Amino acid sequence: MSKLLPIKNYKSLLDLKQTEQAIKLVKDTFQENLSSELRLRRVTAPLFVLKGTGINDDLNGTERKVTFPIKDLADRDAEVVNSLAKWKRMALADYGINQGYGIYTDMNAVRPDEELDNLHSLYVDQWDWERVLSSRERNVDYLKFIVRKIYEVLKRTEFVVFQNYPQIKPLLPDDITFIHAEELRKLYPGKSAKERETEFTKKHGAVFVIGIGGKLGDGEPHDGRAPDYDDWSTENSDGYKGLNGDILLWNPILENAFEISSMGIRVDKEALLRQLEITNMQERQELYFHKRLLNDELPLSVGGGIGQSRLCMYFLHKAHIGEIQSSIWPENMISECKKLGIVLI
């Protein structure tokens, strides 16, 4: 069944040819500025990794991965990556990246369990980035510092789009607003996490919600996070737990809080052991990635993923991610999109 979000009086501001040109403009501008702002070098990334190494991202722990046997490795299974959260941290060590510098890469994934709608596709493309930090930088103030740098890149990219396509008016506010997930819960009692995000982001335009993955005052997490990359259990200077979060932008076309990045300060040894215990996944300590971390072979880091198609969708004022990328959609969704004037690539 089609799960299109309700759209009112939509008309694309760019035709198909202009859209393809503008996609390149957004991607080139954003990644060049992100690289300069965070001092990141581009590296080549894998499309798949070996199953059973602990390198792949488990997302919420329930999603199936695209898996296939490798003939020359005695049919040992490989998995298409869900993200490169853990691979990047190993790459920092293997490339010998210094403190204050990092890497970024193009991440391509296939997620067969995605529920398809305006924002979610089987195909996921994002800039995965990771930067080395020191022990004294493992705090919420440094996290906010990095978020503000990324937000400046967002504003710069939006301006470049406007300069080239003046019919696309800028939407971003001057500053991004920070709030902890527990504060958000208290601010909107009785509402779901998504409803809270919608209300707050509509009011402020650009928001970073801190503390994704740990249980809040009602015993429920704001959203799910795997236990072995973001640190969501360490208490920060505000008295709340969590050194990670999501960047949300208000999308007036879809009238919702539009997530474009999940990021955070990564687990150190103590946080990893604590979160594996909280989630009852202590057996992961025996996996390749986890052993390297527990053996002090990996640097402390901060990192995240920034959706490429989503970013283009936002900056080009598109109503469906299928206007940015080529994917597979249900027949009734394709039919509905045609009626609404949405041209799927």
CA dihedral 253, 259, 260, 265 (to 10 degrees): 160
- DSSP-based three-state secondary structure for 237: coil
Number of neighbouring beta carbons within 10 Å of residue 327 = 18
**DSSP β-bridge partners for residue 70:** 76
Pairing of strands 244-251, 48-50: unpaired
How far is residue 267's CA from residue 339's CA, in Å, rounded to a whole number? 47
CB 306 within 8 A of CB 37: no
- DSSP-based three-state secondary structure for 38: helix
CB 249 within 8 A of CB 310: no
What's the gap between Cα 217 and its chain centre? 25
Positions marked catalytic: 57, 111, 126, 246, 259, 262
DSSP 177-190: EEEEHHHHHHHSTT
Pairing of strands 256-265, 301-307: antiparallel
